[in-house]
Amino acid sequence: MHCSRLLVGLAACFSLPAMAWERVLIDADTPAQNWRVTSEELGIKADRPFSVSLRTLHGGRQEGVSLIDIDNGAMTLTVIPTRGMNVLRAQAGDVRLGWDSPVNEVVNPAFIELNGRGGLGWLEGFNELVTRCGYEWVGHPGVDNGELLTLHGRAANIPASRVVLEIDEKPPYRIRLRGELQEKAFKKVDFSIHTELAVEPGATAFSLHDTLTNNGDYPKEYQALYHNNFGSPLLEEDARFVAPVKQVSPFNDKAKGDLATWQTYRAPTPDYDETVYNVIPYADERGDTLAILHNKAGDRGIAVGFNTQQLPVFSLWKNTDTQGQGYVTGLEPGTSFSYNRRYQRPLGLVPSIGPKEQRHFDVRFQLLADKVAVDKAVKQVDSLQAGRKTEVRQVPLVDLSKD
């Protein structure tokens, strides 16, 4: 334990394991309390002063929801411990990552019935930049093995049980925020998910590093999907989606109609609702790959990096309905598509995790702030595609007409 003189006045002092300050923000004995720490207080003379703060929301269905803001000097990230360590939004200058959901409260899971609305209760809280889906299942609601699987699983509605902030003592003073999700039910599932968000001061990038552990003694099916959602200003008419694509297919009959233009976006379109495209991406020899959303001018965008050995498939969710309805696109790497689990088993998209085994999921977000950055990322995609051909499959992988 080390209490620097510079820390006088802070609510607690910091332990010093290895080479990092660490502070437990929430655990069994530590209630979430309004709190803030700055690089200056930590004795760090950063080019870009940074701060991390914790606050709790009150009133409405957000009563008791904690938020953690990480302002790294270039970008402010807001994380929701109470909702699966989801990332509510990021703001870098005038670029907002995230979207405007009709759900404008940050809803405490205590007030949500996932089983309501025929398993669509999840929609009453959905408004994040990154919504974790899984890990027992993902996908549309429906009965599988005699049990109603609710939309996209429980992860987003599990409060993190231990939240720890760690800041490297040496440049680049990497900031890590960790939280643990317990996804458990006697006889059913014994998962824990160690989530980590990492960001460096001054960067307009951040990354997620999650580890799923099957604490159980039996192999167990699992699914993961990172529902990464972007609205304005990146999403606009003629914005483009760019990725190295081995196969693309329409999610359902509705998506067939727009298949020819699946990589560009419509303006907000009344009654459009949504189309979804199932993508099997190409990757490099280590499995690393990239998906890009950029605006029409090609001078602003976001690159989402992931690894196909961890997350082999990708859903492109194009919800280009009106602004009020939620004008948003999802760039969603996953173990699986968004069909109900019973449809994905025959596709080989319901993997298993052995007893005591772990699965890692790393997802990287890089803001593309200008044309040079966008062009460079698009070139990376070209190089990953490497001239290989794209199969445009006309027919959905799953026949939902019997649903």
Residues at the interface with a copy of itself (CB under 8 A): 26-32, 56-64, 81, 101-105, 108-111, 113-118, 120, 123-124, 126-127, 146-148, 150, 158-163, 180-182, 184-190, 215-218, 270, 273, 321-326, 355
CB of 356 to a copy of itself, least distance (A): 8
Instruction: Write the CB contacts of 52 (distance below 8 Å, at least 6 apart in sequence).
Output: 36, 37, 68, 69, 70, 71, 165, 167, 175, 177
| Of residues 340 and 366, the one with the C-beta less far from a copy of itself | 340
CB of 299 to a copy of itself, least distance (A): 29
Q: Which helix (H) or strand (E) holds 323?
A: helix 323-326
CB of 161 to a copy of itself, least distance (A): 3
| Of residues 308 and 338, the one with the C-beta less far from a copy of itself | 338
From CA 365, how far away is CA 129, in angstroms rounded?
A: 11
CB of 216 to a copy of itself, least distance (A): 6
| Residue that is written with structure tokens 């093995």 in the block | 145
From CA 286, how far away is CA 272, in angstroms rounded?
A: 38
| Of residues 108 and 275, the one with the C-beta less far from a copy of itself | 108
- The CB-side HSE value for 302 (13 A sphere, CA atoms) comes to 27
Sequence letter at residue 31: P
CB of 339 to a copy of itself, least distance (A): 18
Q: For residue 332, what are the β-bridge partners?
A: 315
| Of residues 153 and 333, the one with the C-beta less far from a copy of itself | 153
From CA 369, how far away is CA 376, in angstroms rounded?
A: 11
| Of residues 161 and 310, the one with the C-beta less far from a copy of itself | 161
CB of 204 to a copy of itself, least distance (A): 27
CB of 348 to a copy of itself, least distance (A): 25
| Of residues 311 and 328, the one with the C-beta less far from a copy of itself | 328
β-pairing verdict for 245-250 and 391-392: parallel
From CA 154, how far away is CA 164, in angstroms rounded?
A: 22
For 144-179, b where at least 16 C-beta lie within 10 A, e where not — what string? beeeebbbbbbbbbbbbebbbbbbbeeeebebbbbb
| Of residues 185 and 372, the one with the C-beta less far from a copy of itself | 185
Say how many residues make up the chain: 403
